[in-house]
Structures are given as C-alpha cells and as structure tokens.
C-alpha cells in the first residue's frame, strides 16, 4: 500500500523515498481516495517522481486514472538542461483538447430543431475509429497544417482570426519539424481533418444551467439558458502515429543514456539529445494538427446551425469562448525555488490553468484568469472554470481535464447490458448519436466519476475557480 499523507487543502503527498527524486502530490478530497486508489494510477504518479530532472513534485489531478506510463491526470515539469521528454507523459492522442463555443441563442430557440440539428452535425462531423470525409488534403497540405496549426484552415475560409485569439497558443506552436515525421503519419493526416474520432471524444450542444461567478461569466459572454457547443477531440491517427513512432526511439534512448526507471512505459530521452529534439519537433506537428482539426469542426458546426435554423451567421452568433489543450508538453516560464525559469511541462489529461495577469492569457481574460473547460459525461453536466494564482504556484498552472473514468470500457459495456442508453437519455431530453451502440454503451454516465466532485476538489485546493455549469441537450459520440 502506498502511504498518502495530508499535505494541504485537497492535496495528499506520497513522501520521497528510495530513488524518488521528488514527492508525489495527489489532488483529491478524502471521499475520492477510494476511487483513485482502485487502480495503479497513484503508483504511476510515484514512478514519474523517479524521472531525471523532474522539478518540485510529480502531480496528479482529481480525475487521475491509469494510463500509458504517466497516469491520465498527471503533470510533471522538467529542467530543460538535465531533464527528459517522454511520449508517455504526453499520450497517444497528442493535443487532445476542448473548445467551448457560445452563441446568441437561448435554449428555447432550438427546441423544435434539436433532433435535426444533431443529425446534421452527426453527418458533418464524422465520428468513429478511422473516421474521414470532412475534407481531404494533400500530403503537402498536411505538412503545412503541421507547421501552421489552426491558422491553415482559417486562411482557407474555416473560421476567422477571432477564433485564433482565444485558442491556447493562438492555435499554433512554433518548432514543428515535418522532416521528423514518418510517411505513415503524413498519410494518416490526409483524410482526418475535421473529424471527431472515437473513444471519449464528443461534440455536445448544451446550455448554460448555472452561473456562479458573474464577472467571469460576463467576460466570456455566458448567460443563463444560452446555447453552447463543446468540441472534444485531438490529433487523430496523425498524432497516434507520431507517438507510436517515437516510443521505440525512446526505448533505445533509455539504454543509450543509461536511464533506469520503474516502468518501461516511461521511456524518455534527455530534452537536449537528438532523440529528444526529434520527438519534440514531431510532437509539435501533431499539436498543430489537432488545433487545425478542431478549427475545421468548429466551422462545420457553425454552418450546420445556420442551415438547420435558417439563420445568418450573425444571428446564430457562434463564437469561440476558449480552447484548451490536454496531452501536451510545452516550454513555459514558472517559479521554481523562488525564481522564474523555463521548464518543460508535461500535461497528460490535465488542463493549463493560468491565473489572472499571467503570460499568454488573452487580454479579455487577463483580469479573471484563463478559461478552463471541464467536460463531464453525456448525461449530467460540464463546467467552465478559470485558472488561479495558486495553480501557478502549486501545479505549474495546471488543473483537471474532465470527470475521469471509474469503469473500464469492458466493464461499462457489461453494466449497460440489457439497457437502452440512448432511450434513457432521450427520455430526459438529451438526444445522442454515436458511431455504434457499443460506443454509446461504453460512455454512459455511470462509467465516469461525477465531475462535480472533481471540480470541487480543484476549487478546494485553490487551483481553479468555478464559473458556470453547462448541461447537455444533444451529443455526438465517437
């Protein structure tokens, strides 16, 4: 059994022992500990604490659950001079992330058109494993997307500069090097722009159910009953291939640089090594692909609303509130041992949560902090939060990213046997479409922790602040 000691509000510590270089900090309320301890996620957080160059602590968010190498919900920052970069600390779905859109519409405005709207969205935003069909681009265009990110679709008429202003990193990171990509990753990128994918990815039409922070809600344009859209997807097969390509590279690098860790899934290379730099260049390409992917889906969502409602773009008014990235490693400035320095922050299933006045927070949000988007499940609710100064001090400006699973997909399907999940939701006024009945069954609400508890833990810990609750009306599942 791993010893968890109370550390601070809603934070528990695994003290540094053995070859651990730093302690592990697990953010959770006491009531959540049983669920969190039901798999090996805490052990994974402890394993991360052994990695060369790690700073302050191995951190895990309240939605922590088992993942590849790092736990999902894991955060770790490394010194660029002697630290490492790890694909397991980023994840297979590089820059999986969430965009939140607001509108001029109220819930009543779409009530009679909701089912048709969901059907059109289901047709316009392809879902499922290997989904394609939203648009097909050339290999040369994939290389441009990998460098230009969301700017590429905007330059081709998919959205506007106003979108870019409120996307993390403005929808594009520098340093994507297409020479570090395999032919296979380029091939997979030609058909998947504008597609949702599979698993827990989704597009949700919802509404603002509760507002808790009037000032922050006003800055975001949120009002009670407002129709909203959440888009949750990532870099698709392109990013998956980048991760897959570099895991074997990192495995060899571990031997080359004599790095010994408790779990081979933590395979890594020194940041300054050739292997580390090649992975970073390829990873940044996948980050940019994901930004572009969500930008195309956002555009096709806008046109779907306009067509179904017979309204002009101005009258629908679908605008981007903010877009956050999960599954990412980035070089940021943070305070370590009392002084600011550049660090390489791995966030795997965790959200950047920069506080008021912080670098890289858009001007319109400087006073309230960066918007933070926390999806729940398709039957309950999601939350909008803001980042805090406490997050900057304690978690390298990070917070949770969602509810977190409490059942495996196999267990969720077993629990759903004999039930009609789609009908259960329809009886509650929520229309669901999925690539298959199996997908819907795997994603039913009981398979997830209650996101309300996850958000509460982050608020008690002071690493984010709740702004609004959103409830679903129509959901497209991957």
- Angle at the Cα of 210 from the Cα atoms of 381 and 320, rounded to 5 degrees: 75
Q: Within 13 A of 351's CA, how many CA atoms are on the CB side?
A: 33
Identify the bridge partners of residue 141 per DSSP, sorted by sequence position: none
The residues, ordered by sequence, that sit 6+ positions from 418 with a Cβ below 8 Å of its Cβ are none
Sheet containing strand 339-348, strands side by side: 5-8, 11-14, 24-27, 54-65, 72-78, 339-348, 328-336
The rounded distance, in Å, linking the Cα atoms of 212 and 200 is 27
Q: What's the N-to-C CA distance of the chain in angstroms?
A: 37
Six-digit token string for 108: 């009543």
- Angle at the Cα of 221 from the Cα atoms of 218 and 224, rounded to 5 degrees: 80
Length of the chain: 478
Q: Are strands 319-325 and 11-14 parallel, antiparallel or unpaired?
A: unpaired
The rounded distance, in Å, linking the Cα atoms of 473 and 380 is 10
- Angle at the Cα of 96 from the Cα atoms of 95 and 100, rounded to 5 degrees: 110
Identify the bridge partners of residue 210 per DSSP, sorted by sequence position: 469
255-267 in b/e form (b: 16+ CB < 10 A) is: eeeebebbbebbb
Hey, which residues are catalytic here? 401
The residues, ordered by sequence, that sit 6+ positions from 466 with a Cβ below 8 Å of its Cβ are 212, 213, 383, 384, 385, 455, 459
């Amino acid at each position: 059994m791993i010893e968890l000691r109370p550390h601070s509000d809603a934070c528990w510590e695994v003290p540094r022992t053995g070859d651990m270089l730093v302690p592990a900090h697990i953010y959770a309320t006491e009531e959540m500990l049983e669920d969190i301890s039901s798999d090996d996620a805490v052990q994974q957080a402890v394993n991360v604490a052994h990695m060369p160059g790690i700073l302050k602590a191995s951190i895990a968010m309240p939605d922590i659950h088992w993942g590849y190498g790092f736990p999902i919900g894991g955060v770790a920052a490394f010194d660029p001079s002697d630290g490492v970069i790890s694909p397991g600390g980023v994840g297979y779905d590089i820059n999986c992330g969430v965009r939140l859109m607001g509108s001029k519409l109220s819930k009543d405005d779409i009530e009679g058109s909701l089912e048709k709207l969901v059907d059109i969205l289901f047709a316009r935003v392809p879902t499922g494993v290997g989904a394609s069909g939203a648009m097909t681009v050339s290999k040369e265009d994939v290389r441009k997307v990998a460098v230009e990110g969301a700017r590429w679709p905007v330059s081709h008429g998919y959205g506007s500069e106003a979108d870019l202003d409120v996307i993390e990193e403005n929808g594009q990171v520098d340093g994507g090097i297409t020479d570090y990509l395999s032919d296979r990753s380029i091939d997979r990128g030609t058909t998947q722009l504008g597609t949702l994918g599979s698993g827990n990815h989704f597009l949700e039409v919802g509404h603002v159910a509760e507002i808790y922070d009037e000032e922050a809600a006003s800055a975001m344009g949120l009002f009670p009953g407002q129709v909203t859209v959440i888009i949750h997807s990532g870099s698709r097969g392109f990013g998956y291939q980048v991760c897959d390509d570099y895991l074997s590279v990192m495995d060899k690098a571990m031997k080359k640089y004599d790095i010994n860790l408790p779990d081979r899934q933590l395979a890594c290379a020194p940041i300054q090594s050739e292997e580390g730099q090649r992975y970073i260049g390829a990873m940044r390409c996948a980050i940019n692909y994901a930004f572009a992917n969500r930008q195309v889906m956002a555009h096709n969502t806008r046109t779907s609303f306009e067509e179904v409602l017979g309204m002009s773009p101005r009258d629908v008014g679908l605008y981007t509130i903010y877009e956050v990235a999960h599954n990412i490693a980035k070089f940021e400035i943070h305070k370590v041992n009392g002084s600011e320095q550049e660090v390489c922050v791995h966030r795997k299933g965790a959200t950047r949560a920069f506080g008021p006045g912080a670098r890289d927070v858009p001007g319109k949000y400087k006073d309230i902090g960066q918007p933070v988007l926390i999806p729940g499940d398709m039957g309950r609710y999601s939350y909008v939060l803001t980042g805090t100064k406490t997050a900057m001090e304690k978690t390298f400006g990070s917070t949770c990213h969602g509810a977190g699973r409490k059942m495996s997909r196999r267990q969720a399907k077993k629990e759903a046997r004999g039930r009609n999940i789609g009908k259960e939701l329809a009886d509650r006024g929520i229309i669901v479409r999925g690539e298959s009945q199996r997908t819907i069954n795997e994603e039913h609400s009981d398979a997830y922790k209650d996101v309300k508890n996850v958000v509460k833990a982050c608020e008690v810990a002071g690493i984010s602040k709740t702004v609004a609750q959103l409830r679903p009306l129509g959901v497209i599942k991957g």
